Structure 1
Amino acid sequence: MADDSQRNFRSVYYEKVGFRGVEEKKSLEILLKDDRLDIEKLCTFSQRFPLPSMYRILVWKVLLGIIPPHHESHALVMKCRKEQYWDIHHALREPEDEVFLVIAKAMEEMVEDPVECYWLVSCFVNQLNSKHKDSLQQLPKVLEQYLNIEDNRLLMHLKACAAMSKLPYDLWFKKCFAGCLPESSLQRVWDKVISGSCKILVFVALEILLTFKMKIIALNTAEKITQFLENIPQDNTDAIVSKAVDLWRTHCGTPAHSV
């Protein structure tokens, strides 16, 4: 009788969450009976039987019960949601995973709810990879143009050291300063990116160069300059972002013209 009750309960549960096929039920039952669910099996299941979008959070919660609740879980769920075939032992070794992970780690400091955090990161990264993909590739050249306007001497020094091509562009532009700026400063930058302007990233990079001009000029190799810029002091980043926003408004005018 107990077996029948358990089977009936699961039948009702499957109906509610959309598992109506016999094959889906049997596959999920096998997973549920395991003492320790296998991540790869669960991902294979999600690939064979895609869920409607309304159940995305349910899948996320199921996976969260298996994977430790930190930024790496967001990247793994992202791969499952895209229904990509992937080897669990090499799941987080692609270049785009590094970007996702560092942005997710920063977002975790801003958003308390892990499910909300995942969807914010997912949408933010998707926006970078779709709407801003072409623009992001042009930002190093745009930075050089504005630096020439704001401080030609500094630009000449960077070129003399062969540092312009070796500045931390991935950290600044691909990762949108995640891992470079503290979260309190980062939020203000990301607000502008989300609202439609990735060019704000140029002016944050520009203001970093201008703020630490004397330190940069004192360095005489591209390697030393890059190393310093990857680990800038964190005590005045709010002021840097404020000045960057002012520069952005001065050069780009209204937000509608600042993409």
Structure 2
Amino acid sequence: MASANFRKAYYSSLGVQVVEVKPSLETALQGDILDIERLNKLCLWVRIPHAYRPLVWKVLLGTNSLAKEVWPFVDQQREEQFEDLKRCVQVLLQRPAKSGLPNPPFSSSDDLTADVMVYMLLVQLDTGRSPRRLASILSSASLPHSLSHLRALANTMLEVCDTSESDAYWLFESFVRRYNVSFSDAPPATLQQQQPKQQKLSQQHAVEADRIATEIGAMQNLLRTHHAQLLAHMLSFGQGLEVYCYSWFRTYFASVVPPHCLEGIWDIFIGGAPGILSYLGLSLLLACKRKIEAVRSARDLVKLFDQVERWVDMDAVANTAIDLWERPVLEGMTKDLRKALGYNF
């Protein structure tokens, strides 16, 4: 609440009239057919209340149809498929009695975890692996490191959908499909050496790598504008920013920013402004500026970023990222458009 009050006071000092969120959102959710453009704009220019966020994201990510009349039927079908997938993972996780290994403490009645969500997604979507290979992955002691980026995304969705495990899973699944999150760590250079059924996964990884490179490049340009000396110091160790920040962008910052701080950022991202991620990276770098300036090697900088949540206030980082992103966007709009969004400058 203090963060929201500070943000409101800050906007008032800039002459900005903050849109009343709940009435605007409830109006947008009325009618038999939802207006996706209107919901996108709300995600961009107001922070969606936590209670409404799962529904809004389900519509924007395509989990729910724009036609409200089909929601009950779709929800029922998805709930049944969710339980089937969860039960399937339970069966695959069982180890033969002769192996001498204990079975993982998981049953279909247990609370859903991020790891189980990843396993469910592998069963549903990862057609590049054979059933035997999937069973081998699921029988391991823990989730493979190559899939840890998926765990971070799943954990965020669990926090966002804290009242429905089914909603959490289907939002996770829709997010992965919408944004082409890869299942593989194979470098793009090995694409031609793989079997046809594996190439789709490698192509997906190559697309993801290109996206991350573009976003890190945008963050580097922003840092050059806001604090060129800090950028020069980081580059002086002979490594590019991707060495330090790749995991940030691969997980859409779910690996470093707590879900309650990331929700507002993802509102904007899902609402149609992927550029917010580069501003979030900029905000993180600026927030630990003094720590970075004290570092004297690339190895120490990697260690610093592995523990960055210990050194910064993530709530402040998220708010600063939104402020940095909003101001140039708003200034580039016409006065009439700003007024329509609820701003008076």
Quickly say closer, same or farther: Cα 1:251–1:158, change in 2 above 3 A. Answer: farther
**Alpha-carbon contact 1:161-1:222 (below 8 Å) kept:** yes
Segments of structure 2 that go 5 or more residues without pairing to the other structure are 1-73, 91-105, 107-111, 182-206, 334-345
Q: How far apart in 2 are the matches of 1:170 and 1:123?
A: 22
**Residue in 2 that maps onto 1:214:** 290
**Residue in 2 that maps onto 1:177:** 253
**Residue in 1 that maps onto 2:83:** 61
User: What's the offset of the Cα at 1:162?
Assistant: 2.5
1:137 aligns with 2:213: yes
**Alpha-carbon contact 1:211-1:240 (below 8 Å) kept:** yes
1:72 aligns with 2:115: yes
**Alpha-carbon contact 1:161-1:221 (below 8 Å) kept:** yes
How many residues of Structure 1 are paired with residues of Structure 2 in the alignment?
Answer: 203
Quickly say closer, same or farther: Cα 1:203–1:162, change in 2 above 3 A. Answer: same
**Alpha-carbon contact 1:139-1:173 (below 8 Å) kept:** yes
Q: How far apart in 1 are the matches of 2:301 and 2:307?
A: 10
Secondary structure in 1 matching 2:326: helix
**Residue in 1 that maps onto 2:327:** 250
Quickly say closer, same or farther: Cα 1:178–1:164, change in 2 above 3 A. Answer: same
2:288 partner letter: F
Q: What per-residue deviation string (whole Å, max 9, x for no partner) do you get for residues 47-99 of structure 1?
A: xxxxxx8744323203324533311221222222237234211255483x322
1:108 aligns with 2:166: no
Which of the residues 116, 121, 140 maps onto 2:172?
121
User: What's the offset of the Cα at 1:166?
Assistant: 4.8
The alignment's TM-score, normalised by the length of structure 2, stands at: 0.53
Q: How far apart in 1 are the matches of 2:242 and 2:303?
A: 10
Percent of aligned pairs sharing the same letter? 21
**Alpha-carbon contact 2:257-2:309 (below 8 Å) kept:** no
Secondary structure in 1 matching 2:257: coil
Q: How far apart in 2 are the matches of 1:172 and 1:189?
A: 13
**Alpha-carbon contact 2:282-2:321 (below 8 Å) kept:** yes
Q: How far apart in 2 are the matches of 1:56 and 1:255?
A: 42
1:189 aligns with 2:287: no
Quickly say closer, same or farther: Cα 1:255–1:109, change in 2 above 3 A. Answer: farther
Task: Select the structure of larger CA radius of gyration.
Answer: 1
Which of the residues 109, 129, 148 maps onto 1:98?
148
The alignment's TM-score, normalised by the length of structure 1, stands at: 0.69
Q: How far apart in 2 are the matches of 1:99 and 1:57?
A: 25
Quickly say closer, same or farther: Cα 1:83–1:121, change in 2 above 3 A. Answer: closer
User: What's the offset of the Cα at 1:217?
Assistant: 0.5
CA-atom RMSD in angstroms: 2.8
